[in-house]
Amino acid sequence: MWMRRAPIIIGLSLGFFLYDTPGVSLAAAAWVRIGGTHKYDRYVDMTTIGVSGAKVTLWTLRDFRIERTIPGGPYRSLKIKRQYDCGQRKSRPLHVQYYPKALAQGRVFYAAPATREWSRVVPGSDDDAEMKIACRAVPVGIPSR
Position 21 pLDDT exceeds 50: no
- The reported pTM is 0.74
Whole-number pLDDT of residue 137: 85
User: What are the structural domains of the chain?
Assistant: 27-135 (2.40.128.710)
Distances (CA, A) of 51 to 8, 35, 96, 140: 37, 23, 20, 13
Per-residue model confidence (pLDDT) at position 17: 37
- pLDDT tens per residue, range 43-92: 999 999 999 999 999 999 999 999 999 998 999 999 999 999 999 999 99
pLDDT (0 to 100) of residue 83: 97
Which range, of 5-19, 85-99, 100-114, averages the lowest pLDDT? Answer: 5-19
* SS3 assignment, position 69: strand
